[in-house]
């Protein structure tokens, strides 16, 4: 039994578990209530990309609470859903998060993708390499840009960490992100990993935009 498991009853007594979406009481600290769970949409798993849920309104609330609202305690909840959709992996894998620029990391205080990667790595049987990639430029939001503009903004922005190239060479890499929108960022990350010699790159995210 881990320390966290041993302390769980005390934690539940002091902070009764509640659904992170609606606030209703639930049985454990690591899930959603049944009505909120039923509002999530689960897309088909595609080759190379695994998304736990589609980016609908409930998923958006969870992501914003985790990413913008400082609710880092949601990381195990979101990662558990990601790991369940990912399933078993063949061979040895590294878990590498999509990187934040150091200024963005300083402003936010944490890299949400790194928190998810840490939680996903264990169930997936992967080894966490939290600094496998670095973001060399503090790029602006890509939300309103077209595909050509996104690619231009990200050109040269993401690269393999020179101190991790030896680990990445020949490795199977699980690239972890919170939300996949156009895929421009994950493509840039995948290209950097492949340039460092990674053999395979599989993307796993919590939510994917644009899925029905």
Q: In the predicted model, what is the mean pLDDT of residues 104-117?
A: 90
Q: Are 68 and 102 in contact (CB under 8 A)?
A: no
Task: Judge whether 197 lies within some domain.
Answer: yes
Decide if pLDDT at 139 tops 70.
no
Task: Judge whether 24 lies within some domain.
Answer: no
* 59/9: higher pLDDT: 59
| CATH assignment of the domain containing 120 | 3.40.50.2020
Range of the domain at 180: 40-208
Task: Judge whether 30 lies within some domain.
Answer: no
Task: Please give the mean pLDDT across all residues of the chain.
Answer: 84
pLDDT band (50, 70, 90) for residue 44: confident
Q: Are 135 and 99 in contact (CB under 8 A)?
A: yes
Angle at 126 between CA 180 and CA 206, to 5 degrees: 20
Three-state SS string over 106-155 comes to: HHHCCCHHHHHHHHHHHHHCCEECCCCEEECCCCCCCCCCCHHHHHHHHC
Q: With a threshold of 0.75, does the pTM exceed it?
A: yes
Q: Which residues pair with 158 in a beta bridge?
A: 135
Task: Judge whether 20 lies within some domain.
Answer: no
**Into how many domains does the chain fold?**
1
Task: Judge whether 26 lies within some domain.
Answer: no
Task: Judge whether 175 lies within some domain.
Answer: yes
Q: Tell me what pLDDT residue 142 has.
A: 60
Q: Tell me what pLDDT residue 115 has.
A: 96
Decide if pLDDT at 10 tops 60.
no
Task: Judge whether 50 lies within some domain.
Answer: yes
Task: Judge whether 11 lies within some domain.
Answer: no
């Amino acid at each position: 039994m881990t320390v966290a498991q041993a302390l769980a009853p005390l934690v539940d007594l002091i902070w009764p578990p509640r659904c992170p979406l609606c606030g209703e009481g639930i049985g454990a600290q690591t899930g959603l209530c049944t009505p909120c769970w039923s509002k999530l949409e689960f897309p088909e798993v595609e080759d190379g990309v695994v998304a736990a849920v589609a980016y609908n309104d409930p998923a958006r609330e969870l992501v914003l609470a985790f990413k913008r609202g400082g609710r880092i305690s949601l990381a195990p909840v979101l990662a558990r859903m990601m790991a369940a959709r990912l399933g078993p992996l063949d061979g040895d894998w590294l878990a590498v998060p999509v990187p934040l620029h150091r200024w963005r990391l300083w402003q936010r205080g944490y890299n949400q993708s790194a928190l998810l990667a840490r939680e996903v790595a264990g169930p997936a049987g992967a080894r966490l390499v939290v600094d496998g990639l670095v973001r060399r430029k503090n790029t602006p939001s890509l939300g309103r840009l077209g595909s050509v503009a996104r690619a231009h903004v990200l050109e040269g922005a993401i690269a393999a960490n020179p101190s991790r190239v030896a680990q990445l060479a020949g490795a199977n890499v699980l690239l972890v992100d919170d939300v996949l929108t156009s895929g421009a960022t994950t493509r840039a990350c995948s290209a950097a990993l492949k340039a460092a010699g990674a053999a395979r790159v599989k993307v796993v995210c919590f939510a994917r935009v644009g899925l029905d």
